[in-house]
Amino acid sequence: MEDMLNLDMSNLQLKNGITLAELSSGSEFELQKEDTFYDIKENDQLNKEEFDRIYNSNSHSDEEDLNPIDLASTSFQEIAKNMKNISPDGGVMKKLLKRGYGPLVAENSIIDVHYNAYFEYSDDPFDSSHLRNQSFKYKMGSGRAIPGWEIALLTMSKGEKSRFLIRPDYGFREIGCPPRVPQNATALFIIELLNISDQIGINDFYLLNEDDRHQVSFDYINKLVHSEKLQGTKFFTQKQFKKAFNKYKQAANLLESCHLESDKEERECQRILVDLNLNMALCCLRLTHSTRAITYSRKVLNMDKNNAKALFRLGQAFHQLGQFNEAKKYLCKAQKILPKDSSIQKELKQVKENEQKFQFIEADVYKKMLSGLETNKKDVSTAESPVSESDAVSKEFQNSVTKYLENFADDKCQDECPLPTYSMSEAEMNFVLETVHSMSLNVVQSGSGQNSTIRITKNIPSFQDEQVLLS
């Protein structure tokens, strides 16, 4: 019997099932001791952080819900009675509202918080990340926050929510920050720690102020840039040129805004920027955004005036625009630097062929247009009754313009072509515009009167800001 009383009943179970009737009749039953261990599969286990988070979220309620404070009628002296001193002289007081999990905030870490800040006898916050709908990211030790914040945050862990009273000597000093912060003001902060990181991410970087950005080392920025560049190249190989461009652009923006501390870092930064701008130019070419390709290629030449790839990209961009002389100029410069490069040779040959083809087509179109004009004038002068606009344009004129625009639309190397406007009648001009519209092309006009010129352009996909071999 004594053995039975000393048994640990928490892990005993019936060996065989028993009914209520059998139990009432005094039937005997047999117990067996259950094993005290379980075969837990690896996927069933919780890591320590997950366990702490679940445990703390269930066992610690937010004190504000259980015992709310009326800030409008409660003095800071009364509030401080239930708080703990976390500074040497009582300048910073703390009250835990919700327990966090994991390690405490460390020096030099990046923290992400939500907070509200109040003055005494006011329930209207004078500062609040909640009202801005954006959490506050801060690099510990940067000195961007008041001293009391640093002391308060070092006592917090991830997921924690606490209330802090911060005296003026740990806060905004005696002078305050008029008119927003009065002189010699104690402030109450309710802070919730959302995240802690010992490394800054690319999105975190842009949320830091300029002083904090300068504290991020070039080596670490370079790692972020390398990651963005790899993602950009992945998108490029998948022919997702817009996404690739945005990744390269983001990497370039990082480098252009980072703080460089030596000539060595400056040279390395410039080398990477050359590669990124070349890649952005190539993306623009693939998206037939020729003018942007010119911009990024020229950026490279400003850093490296003899960069063959930049000269090649410029030649390709001017080729797309139908500016054959400019295309040949830059391609020939690239060829002088890389005389045996097959890509440059092939592009230069194609430019010369397209130039001859379009010169022939343009001459033929102009001739037929002028011929059509003379026919139209004769038809109009001898007509006995008014005619419609379409009838006022000769068939030869219509055929010539249509053929010219079809050749342009089908040529993948061109995204722009000129069109003569001198001596055109209003009916002929309207016919040109209607034909351009029907082919989903665009018209860009510059100048006026006899100096007026029209350029026909293809629809160019737009993308945000936002080789043939990639750098």
433 belongs to a structural domain: yes
What are the tens digits of pLDDT across the range 388-428?
Answer: 444 577 887 788 788 878 877 777 666 777 665 545 677 77
In a shared domain, residues 225 and 269:
yes
20 belongs to a structural domain: no
Could you give the CA distance from residue 424 to residue 437 in angstroms, rounded to a whole number?
Answer: 18
What is the pLDDT at residue 7?
A: 44
Q: Using pLDDT thresholds of 50, 70 and 90, give the confidence band for residue 18.
A: very low
In a shared domain, residues 163 and 236:
no
In a shared domain, residues 189 and 299:
no
In a shared domain, residues 403 and 446:
yes
What is the pLDDT at residue 380?
A: 47
Distance of CA 260 to the CA centre of its chain: 23
What is the pLDDT at residue 455?
A: 72
354 belongs to a structural domain: no
In a shared domain, residues 159 and 290:
no
In a shared domain, residues 377 and 324:
no
Coil, strand or helix at 314: helix
- From the list 343, 350, 352, the residue with the least C-alpha distance to 282 is 343
35 belongs to a structural domain: no
Examine the pLDDT at 331 and tell me if it is beyond 80: yes
Q: Greater confidence, 381 or 84?
A: 84
In a shared domain, residues 140 and 194:
yes
Phi, psi of 283 (to 5 degrees): -60, -40
What is the pLDDT at residue 199?
A: 63
Q: Greater confidence, 46 or 274?
A: 274
Could you give the CA distance from residue 286 to residue 241 in angstroms, rounded to a whole number?
Answer: 7
- From the list 159, 113, 121, 120, the residue with the least C-alpha distance to 138 is 113
What is the pLDDT at residue 342?
A: 93
CATH number at residue 267: 1.25.40.10
Among 190-199, 230-239, 246-255, the least confident range: 190-199
Distance of CA 352 to the CA centre of its chain: 40
In a shared domain, residues 417 and 449:
yes
Mean pLDDT of all residues belonging to the chain: 77
Coil, strand or helix at 125: coil
Alpha helix segments (H runs only) across 304-341: 308-320, 324-337
**Domain boundary at 155, 175, 205, which?**
205
151 belongs to a structural domain: yes
In a shared domain, residues 173 and 243:
no
Coil, strand or helix at 417: strand
Counts for the chain of helices (H) and strands (E), in that order: 18, 14
In a shared domain, residues 99 and 157:
yes
First to last CA, the chain: 85
In a shared domain, residues 69 and 173:
yes
CATH number at residue 156: 3.10.50.40
Q: Greater confidence, 134 or 164?
A: 164
CATH number at residue 446: 3.30.1370.50
What are the tens digits of pLDDT across the range 83-137?
Answer: 999 998 989 999 999 999 989 998 878 899 999 999 999 999 999 999 999 898 8
**Domain boundary at 176, 205, 234, which?**
205
228 belongs to a structural domain: yes
Count of structural domains, the chain: 3
In a shared domain, residues 318 and 440:
no
- From the list 268, 329, 267, 270, the residue with the least C-alpha distance to 294 is 329
Q: Greater confidence, 26 or 293?
A: 293
Residue ranges making up the domain that contains 90? 63-205
464 belongs to a structural domain: no
* Across 44-61, average pLDDT: 46
302 belongs to a structural domain: yes
Instruction: Write out the two tokens for 469.
Output: 């071999």
